[in-house]
Every structure is written in structure tokens, then in C-alpha cells.
Amino acid sequence: MSATIRPGAVRALVAPGLVSLVCLAILLGLGVWQLQRKGEKEALIARIVARSHVEPPADLPAPGTWDPARDEFERVRVAGTFLHDKETLVHGLAAGAVPGRALQGYYVLTPLRREAGGTVLVNRGFVPTELRDPAARKAAQVEGPVTVTGILRASEARTLFVPAADPAKGEWFNRDIAGISAAKGLPDSAPYLVEADATPNPGGWPKGGQLRVDLPNNHLQYAFTWFGIAACLLGVFGVFAWRRLTDASDAVPDREPA
């Protein structure tokens, strides 16, 4: 018996072949996208490192000149007076004393009435849940003129899995600068915030310097994962097609000569 492949067997592979081709294109696209994200993350980390060590710190952008692409992560210094009665707590996590075990609590965003005019939100740092009440950290409610050094940050976008804010209850889950400013009646607030550096606050809390420079960059691993799945798909389809074709050829007997 000779191996003869029926035309119908080849046609039967068209549909699964097209589906596999579409899946392959998606997997390869995801892998390439992760490589692009890797480059973007590396550029972001380099940008943060370069700007976070600028000496001397720069002034805040003038009103109407804020450009996140240009100004975010700039090291700045601002003088003014804290408006503690308009403090906002934003749910968040911070690194704990034990590696891999995060602390649950809040970021303390306090408006600063600037000496130069206007207000700017300052993320003074993190407090654990038990220090939510300002009375529990009264020493940090500094009165009078202060100078804050920190990093400029843009508003934090709310992702799909982040709950919506409830301003009436004071529940915030992302650093929404415009939303918090409106809720606190700050029409002259800047469209950015200052992430305070690690200079200790009286009483030890809030703890500043929460901006992470060692951002996770696992995109190369993700890219290898997608490319690996694509290779497996090729292998599985190759074995599937070979078996279909060889089974079909075995099922066709040779004709006996007349």
C-alpha cells in the first residue's frame, strides 16, 4: 500500500489551520507588546532615577504650564502652610518590615497653601490603618510655615479593579487630584501633587519617600511566556495535522492492476 493523501483530508485542516493562525498572530502580538512595555518601563525607571537626584530642587511649574511628559518625576521644593482640616486619606499599601508582607493603610494627602499663591496637594506619606485618625498622630499636624521637598506626580488613573471613590464618605482609592481638590473646595489647586521625600515627620508618621524607583519589570518574562505558548501551538498543530494526513493516507488502499 502506498501513502496517498485524500484531498478531503487537506480541506479538513483549513478551518483548524485558520483558527491556529489567528491564535498564533495574537500570541506573537502579545509577546512583541511585552517587549515594547519592557523598553517603556526601563525608560521610566531611568527617568525617575535621573530626576529624583537633581540638585538643587526646582520650583513648581507655573500655572498653565504643567506638562506631565516634561515635568513628572521632577524633584521640586515648595514652601507654604499645611491645611490639615482638608486632609484626605487614600487607601493604599506600603512595604512592611517583613519582605513580601505589605502594610495596609492610607496615603495622607494634605493641601499646602503656597507662599507664592495657590495650593498644591502634598502626599506626606503612608500611615497604617490604626493611625487613620489625625489625633493619633497629632505631632505631625505641623502648624506654621513649612518647606517640602519631593517629586512631582500626575494624577493616578483609576484602573478596572480599583473601586470608585465616594467623596461624601471620604473614601478614595486612587490619587485623583482633580476629584480630591473639588471635594475639598480647592479651586486654585495645582493639577499635580508633590510626593514628599523621606524627610521624617514629627512623631514618625506619615512616612514619606514612598515613590518606588525599583519598579517591577517582568515584561521580558511575560514576552518569553507568550512566545513559548506560540511555539507550543505550532508544535501541537503540526502533530495534529501530521496525524490527520497520515491517518487519511493509511485509509486509502492501492488499486490492484487490471
58-108 pLDDT per residue, tens: 899 988 899 988 888 899 999 999 999 999 999 998 877 666 678 899 999
Work out the mean pLDDT of the chain and round it to a whole number.
Answer: 86
Residues 28 and 230 sit within 8 Å (Cβ to Cβ): yes
Split at pLDDT 50, 70, 90, the class of 251 is low
Q: In this predicted structure, what is the pLDDT of residue 257? A: 52
Residues 176 and 158 sit within 8 Å (Cβ to Cβ): yes
Asked whether the predicted pLDDT for residue 244 surpasses 90, the reply is no
Asked whether the predicted pLDDT for residue 47 surpasses 80, the reply is no
Least confident of 78-82, 173-177, 215-219, 249-253: 249-253
Split at pLDDT 50, 70, 90, the class of 258 is very low
Q: In this predicted structure, what is the pLDDT of residue 119? A: 96
The contacts of residue 112 (CB under 8 Å, 6+ apart) are 78, 80, 81, 82, 83, 119, 120, 121, 122, 146, 148, 194
Rounded to 10 degrees, what is the CA torsion of 202, 204, 209, 211?
-130
Mean of pLDDT values over 4-29: 81
The string of pLDDT tens digits covering residues 142-168 is 999 999 999 999 998 888 889 999 999
Split at pLDDT 50, 70, 90, the class of 38 is confident
Mean of pLDDT values over 231-250: 81
Of 258 and 156, more confident:
156
DSSP 19-45: HHHHHHHHHHHHHHHHHHHHHHHHHHH
Compute CA 53 distance to the chain's CA centroid, rounded to the nearest angstrom. 22
Element (H, E) at 117: none
Element (H, E) at 223: helix 219-250
Q: In this predicted structure, what is the pLDDT of residue 37? A: 84
Split at pLDDT 50, 70, 90, the class of 204 is very high
